[in-house]
Structure formats: C-alpha cells, structure tokens
C-alpha cells in the first residue's frame, strides 16, 4: 500500500511538473464559457490524410529526427486536429506547433513529403475549454455550444471546428481540451 501511495504521488508530480511549451494567445473577450482569442504567429508541421490513425505517427517521426539533419524537436501543446469533408471524402488534418524559438530557416526539411511546414500570422478564434478525455460526444456538445454563443452574439466564423488536445494520453487528471472556430474578419 505504501509503495502504491508513493507511485501515485510521483505520477502526479511528473504530470504537474511537465515543462511542455504551450502555444501563445491572448484572451480578447469572454462570452459565457467562450473566449475570443488572438493567437500569436506560429509555425506548424502539418499532415493531412484520409487515415486518421496515421497522423500522429507521421508527425512524431518528424520531430523525433525524421528530417534532413536528424534534428530533434521538442513536443509542444496543443496538438491541432480537424476533419473536413470534400465531395463525400473525409480528410483528417493534424498540426504540431513548433517551439517558439524556431524560425522557418531553423527547422530541417521533413523526410516525409506529406508533412508541410507552414508559418501562420496572428489569427482570431473563438474557443471553449472542457476537461477529461475527449470523445465525439463531448466534442459535438461543445462545438454546438460554441456555435450557439457565436450565433447569439452575431460573430462570424468558419464553421469547421478544430480540436486542440493539450495532454499526453497517459495523463489522467487535469486534462484540457479546446474546441475552436476561426473567426471571419
């Protein structure tokens, strides 16, 4: 029992002391549970495929050295995920945020041609945060709630929700998830 108690607190300590860099943004306004955010410029490593299961493996390969100079790149948070449907075909996109210390010139070219490196300027999004493990029910519920608040406040947005996951799969407590809609200017 004592060993279990020690392991439990070591696990909690490990999760809470994690030094993962998070993507930077400012909250411009709050409406109910919804934040209007402005995200700073960022560089993404992006992959899109018709197979949702391969996305993480492809991008992880890049940051673990699958690039021209075998450069190792720290994992950041959140991971961006989005589903789009074009002519009845689903496409899944995942984006890893590159650490803020890098410029496009600092990042090695991916070995996998499916990975696109993209620099994005400041953008505004509406966001709602929820806890626990993500699933389709929670994502749908929060997407619907976010749409309702935006519609009630006459805020224009691109109606294709983006999921942001902040935590490693093994983290049990204190999980953070966001649903975002990009705002139309």
Tokens of 40: 């700073």
Residues contacting 48, CB < 8 A, separation 6+: 91, 92, 93, 94, 114
CATH superfamily of 42-120: Regulatory factor, effector binding domain (3.20.80.10)
Helices then strands (H, E): number in the chain?
Answer: 3, 9
- Per-residue pLDDT of 16-42, as tens digits, reads 445 899 999 999 999 999 999 999 999
Here the tokens at position 29 are: 């306004």
Q: Where does 24-40+122-185 sit in CATH, by number?
A: 3.20.80.10
- For all residues of the chain together, what is the average pLDDT? 90
Rounded Cα distance, 132 and 174, in Å: 7
- Could you tell me the mean pLDDT of each successive run of 10 residues in the chain, 185 residues long? 38 54 97 97 96 91 97 96 87 97 97 97 98 96 98 96 94 94 91
- All structural domains of the chain with their residue ranges: 24-40+122-185, 42-120
Distance (Å, rounded) from C-alpha 120 to C-alpha 58? 21
- The DSSP annotation for 52-71 comes to GGGHHHHHHHHHTT-BTT--
pTM above 0.95, yes or no: no
How far apart (Å, rounded) are the C-alpha atoms in residues 29 and 36?
5
């Amino acid at each position: 029992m004592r060993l279990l108690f020690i392991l439990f607190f070591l696990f909690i300590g490990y999760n809470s002391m994690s030094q993962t860099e998070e993507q930077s943004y400012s909250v411009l306004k709050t409406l109910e549970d919804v934040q209007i955010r402005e995200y700073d410029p960022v560089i993404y490593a992006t992959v899109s495929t018709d197979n949702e299961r391969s996305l993480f493996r492809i991008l992880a390969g890049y940051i673990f050295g699958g690039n021209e100079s075998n450069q190792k790149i720290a994992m950041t948070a959140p991971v961006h995920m989005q589903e789009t449907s074009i002519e009845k075909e689903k496409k899944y996109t995942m984006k890893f945020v590159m650490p803020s210390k890098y410029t496009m010139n600092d990042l090695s070219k991916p070995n996998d041609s499916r990975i696109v490196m993209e620099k994005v300027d400041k953008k505004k999004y509406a966001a709602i945060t929820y806890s626990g493990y993500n699933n389709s029910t929670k994502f749908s519920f929060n997407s619907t709630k976010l749409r309702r608040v935006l519609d009630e406040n006459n805020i224009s947005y691109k109606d294709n929700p983006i999921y942001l996951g902040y935590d490693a799969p093994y983290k049990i407590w204190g999980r953070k998830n966001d649903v975002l809609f990009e705002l139309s200017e």
